[in-house]
Each structure stands twice: as structure tokens, then as C-alpha cells.
A = this chain, B = another copy of it.
């Protein structure tokens, strides 16, 4: 590491030129005043010589005197530094007072132990080597881009629009905004909304709820029971009363319930939006996760351009790329890009270029198909071990594939105790308490099967079943 910059100090000569005594005086005054703190580097002799128009010797005499007084020291090849003991502290400003830490729920550790609630995909199923190839190819092009496009790398926006068009969406690359994961897409929309009330499923993805609350939005929770589906009449009443500006809906593999909207629920939701005049933000992160038959059309396809649409490559390609996107009707794009600029100005160009290359080479579809086959197999294995091990009274949804289902446990089972017991064995579950608005109306666990090998899943689920059984009066017989 080269030398730190040197700190200037003001010498005010009494005569035409400064003498060494005046230099000593100036340095002492700044040290005592605290503006030359311990560890500061003084200007090199040649610099001061030039600045003050005096001889090298005058400066050196001053520095020798300061050294003799013990307030500075010379470090070889580094320069002259103010020594610790001599410095006077400045008045200390107070610590910033921050809002209380939001309740993010228990962190689910990765990489060690068995995380039964992860909705991530097993890293072994992710296309790391192909991405590295794409990165090397991008770097072979002459020069890295200096600047970024605040809306996102244009070839990536084109590749995304092309994919969506193939899925019946009427969309142009100009209507795509690249974001740092889908989280930033939610952030942008929430910042920009004029009506500061938003309707959300209850339970809902905890980071969305906390984000909206942190930005000062009022929430209207809409109860979602993954076993019964959506009670459209109840939603109608709640929405008529609350008049939100927007409804945020995770239409496929809703987090944390794993629920996917049925066709008539999608249509019903659009009818409610038209009746009560709220906009829709569709989070479609999950639709690529399902290999086939349970797939429903996107709200953005059914309802057209007014529907805001967010999706992400994060989980499906590589979480560490952090690339998501927002699709918005053309007239909304300038404001939404401005909101992105307020948050981060832009995002890393290189990762956007790598993903564009990955899509351009046609790797994504093959990857998704292979990933779906693997997760479908894990899904079936998960159902088998649930059938085999879970005591009576425990039930679960059957989403048909994908990353996760909802496991509902009798109210009498103390899930906090189950969680605590499993954690001692390095097995983690998330009871999603932070995902509910108020008192949870479900009593269960998000069970993810895409992250774990079949062996780890079997072992973890068996331990979970045992921990539930010992607390489950109905099945002690």
C-alpha cells in the first residue's frame, strides 16, 4: 500500500517568509486544536519548501524540532506522522439514533446444517460453469463499459422482452427496468406510489411487508389460506373498505404459503381491481419453477399493460448475480427509473452483460427444464417422506412441483419449541411469523424441497416429524 495523502496545515508567516519556528507553531496549534489527529501524515519537506517558498533546511529544522518534542515521528519510506499521545480529541458528535431494527424473523443460516424452509435452489443445480463462460466471453470484448444505463443494459432488456413475448405478453424492451433483484423492483414501486396504501396477501413475503412499512405505506392484509384458496368475497369487502392504491400479489408459489392462484382467482382479482380502481403489482418469481400442468397465465397477460409485473433471475440462475426486473406501461417508466436512481442510481453493468450473454446463447430454457425435472423429483420424494413420517393432524399442500409447500401443524404443537429443538441438531425451520399481519391465522412451516438433496430432506423431515409427534397429543396413541 502506498503512502496516505498528507494533511495540509496553515502557516501564517509574520514576515515575508515563514521561519522554522512559525512552522513548529502552526503544527503545534493544529495538533492542540485537534485538526491534525494522531496518524496524520505531514506534507513532505519538498512540498512545504515549494508551497512556502523557503529553503529545504528551514522545513527540516522545524520537523526535527517537532520530532524532538515527541509530537511527530518519521516512518521510513512513508513520511512524517503525528504521534498518538500528542493529539487532542475534537468534540465528539452523538451517535445517530436509528429506528428500531425491523423484526426480520429468524435468520436461516445457509451452507451448514439442514434448512428445511429454504426457497433457494440447490447450488448444484445452478449453471455456474455456463455463467463463468459467459463472463469470460463478455470480458474478451475490448474494454469494459465505463457507464451504466440507469434503466438497465439494453441487450438484457431486449432478451427479457423476447422471453416474455414468447409467453404471450405484449411488452417492449423500453418497458423493462432491470433491478437489483426483485426486492429493488418492489422498492421502486413503493417509493413512487401516490396513494400510500397497499393491499398484500396475509401472510406475505416478510421483506415486502417490512419494506412497505418502512416506506410509510399503510397495509391492507388479505387473508390467504393455501388449503382453501382465495375468498374473493372477503377480499372484495376488504378492498372496498380500504381503497388501496395497489395490490401486491405473488401469483405463483406465493411466499411463504407456496400457493398458486387458480385461473378463476386471477380473473376475479382483475374484476376487483377494475371495480375498486386499484392497480396491480404481480410478483411472478415462481412461474418458472413449475414444470407444467399447474401453470396459469400471468396477470400481466390477462390484464394487459396496466399491470405492473416483477420477476427475477436471482434464485433461478444465481442468487449472487442479484438481477430482477420490473415491467411497466411506457408512461410510468420515467418516474420508476427516477426512483431507481434515488435508491442506487444504477446497477453493476458487468453482471447484466453476463446474464444477457447467458440468455442470448439460449442457455436459460435448457437450464430451467433441467432444474424443473430435478425439483419435481425432490417434490415427489418430499411428499413420500411426509406421508411416511408425519403424525395424524398434520397436513400439507400439494403444489405439483416447484420449490416449497405449506405444512400445517395442529395448534396444540408448540412450533417455537420444535424450532428450538431442531436448531440444536442444525436443522432449521421458518414458521414465518414475520410474514403475517398481526396474529398468524396459519400454524405451520414453509417446507422447501428444492434446496436440499433427497437424503438431507428425508433426514430433516423425519426429525421434524418426530419433534412434532412428541408434542402432538392426537398421535401419541
> A residues near B, CB below 8 A?
1-2, 4-10, 30, 33-40, 43, 47, 51, 89-102, 104, 110-111, 120, 123, 126, 128, 131-132, 135-136, 139, 143-148, 162-163, 166-168, 180-181, 183-184, 187, 189, 191-195, 207, 210-211, 214-216, 245-246, 263-264, 266-267, 270-271, 273-275, 277-281, 287, 290, 292-297, 301-304, 306-308, 318-323, 329, 331-332, 334-336, 338-339, 341-351, 354, 362, 365-366, 369
Contact = CB atoms under 8 A, between A and B. Distances in A.
A346 B348 CA distance: 12
Given A1-B362, A7-B295, A267-B35, A94 B184 contact: no
A5 B162 CA distance: 15
Contact of A39 (B135, B168, B210, B323): B168
A92 B146 contact: no
A447 to B, nearest CB: 20
Contacts of A351: 348, 350-351
Residue among A166, A210, A366 with most chain B CB within 10 A: A166
A291 to B, nearest CB: 8
Contact of A344 (B126, B184, B295, B332): B184
Contacts of A280: 93
A135 B132 CA distance: 10
Contacts of A162: 1
Contacts of A194: 97-99
Contact of A148 (B135, B320, B336): B320
A97 B349 contact: no
Given A273-B91, A338-B102, A348 B365 contact: no
Given A35-B296, A94-B278, 18 more contacts: A5-B295, A9-B263, A35-B297, A39-B167, A92-B270, A95-B332, A135-B135, A136-B139, A144-B320, A146-B318, A147-B319, A147-B320, A207-B342, A210-B342, A321-B349, A321-B350, A322-B346, A322-B349
Contacts of A189: 96
Contact of A2 (B35, B296, B297, B369): B369
Contacts of A270: 90-93
B144 A128 contact: yes
17 contacts: A2-B366, A5-B290, A8-B293, A33-B263, A35-B296, A95-B331, A101-B338, A104-B338, A110-B147, A126-B146, A132-B144, A148-B322, A211-B342, A214-B342, A320-B346, A343-B343, A348-B348
A206 to B, nearest CB: 10
B146 A123 contact: yes
A129 B136 CA distance: 14
A269 to B, nearest CB: 9
B30 A263 contact: yes
Contacts of A168: 4, 37-40
Contacts of A145: 320
A198 to B, nearest CB: 10
A414 to B, nearest CB: 28
Lowest 8 CB-CB distances: which A-B pairs, in order? A39-B168, A93-B273, A320-B349, A91-B274, A2-B365, A96-B279, A35-B263, A180-B344
Contacts of A6: 292-293, 295
Contact of A99 (B193, B281, B294, B306): B193
Given A187-B342, A267-B35, A8 B92 contact: no
Residue among A90, A214, A277, A306 with most chain B CB within 10 A: A90
Given A5-B295, A273-B94, A348 B322 contact: yes
Nearest to A291: B5
A439 B374 CA distance: 63
A216 B214 contact: no
Contacts of A97: 193-195, 245, 279
Nearest to A110: B147
B1 A166 contact: yes
Contacts of A302: 34-35, 37, 90
A35 B264 contact: yes
A143 B130 CA distance: 10
Given A270-B93, A348-B321, A98 B332 contact: yes
B183 A148 contact: no
Contacts of A93: 270, 273-274, 278-280, 303, 306-307
Contact of A95 (B35, B98, B128, B279): B279
A287 B5 contact: yes
